[in-house]
Every structure is written in structure tokens, then in C-alpha cells.
Amino acid sequence: MAAHHVGPADALAALRTARRARAAARPRPLPGWYPAAAAGLFALGFVLFGLSVLLPERLWLPAAGLQLAAAAALIGHVVVSHRVEHRPGLVPALPRPAAWFPAAAAHLSALAVSGALALPYGLAGFLLALGPTCGLAHLLLLRRKRARAGAE
């Protein structure tokens, strides 16, 4: 059996490496601007799609402009969410099934409200309600997630 002798300099370097690895693995809280930006872009995108549905067919050019702006807002939502929530060097873990329930309940209730408004007002009513209701649900969930990450 061979004995390994580690010098003080090597031991100190190993301790520094371990300290840096532990600091990198510690969850960082979400930026303060992120919940409002992500929810706002989401809501704006669906509201703009709803407004484009309301325009008459003869106004296809303004409707196309609204649809492009809506697509840009939703793409912005995806880009911002990906940049903030997917940090390099970390492997995301799937949340526990119990952690899915609040998010699913919040978004399903928003979909139910939007669906109820779709009955009398059609697709435009659905999209115009979906943006603010799901955006609000998204905002509340992201604020809760930010507060939990800051508490840990």
C-alpha cells in the first residue's frame, strides 16, 4: 500500500478549488427586473395577437404589423427566460411533482378565465384575456421563485 504525501501548497489549492466549486453551485437569486420583464413580454405578445384578430380583413397590413410585434414580444420572452434561468455550468434538475402544482393551478385557472371569455367574444376575447391573466400568474410565480431562491 502506497502512502500519498500531499504538500501544503497542493492542499491549499485543492481547498480553493472546492470553495470556488461550492460557490458556483450555490443558487443565485433571479434578478429583480426579471419577473416583470418576462411576464410583461408574455402578456404584451398575446394582447397584440388579440388586437390583430380584432382588425377587419381589409386592414391586413396593420394586422401583420401587430402580429410581427406580438411574435417579437413572445420571442423576447423566450430569450430573456432562457438567458436568466439557464446558467452555464449547472445541470437543471426536474422539480418535484408537488412543485408543479402551484404553477399548473395558476396557469390552468388563467386558461379557464380566458376560455370563459372566448365563449362570448371568440378568439380575440381569448387572446386578450390570456395575455394579462397568464402574465399575472407568471409574474406571481416568478416573484415567489425569486423570494425562495433569496431565502436559501
pLDDT digits (tens, 9 = 90+) for 39-54: 999 999 999 999 999 8
What pLDDT shows up at residue 93? 58
d(CA 46, CA 41): 9
Contact 94, 69 (CB under 8 A): no
pLDDT at 132 over 90: yes
Most confident of 13-22, 36-45, 81-90: 36-45
pLDDT at 134 over 80: yes
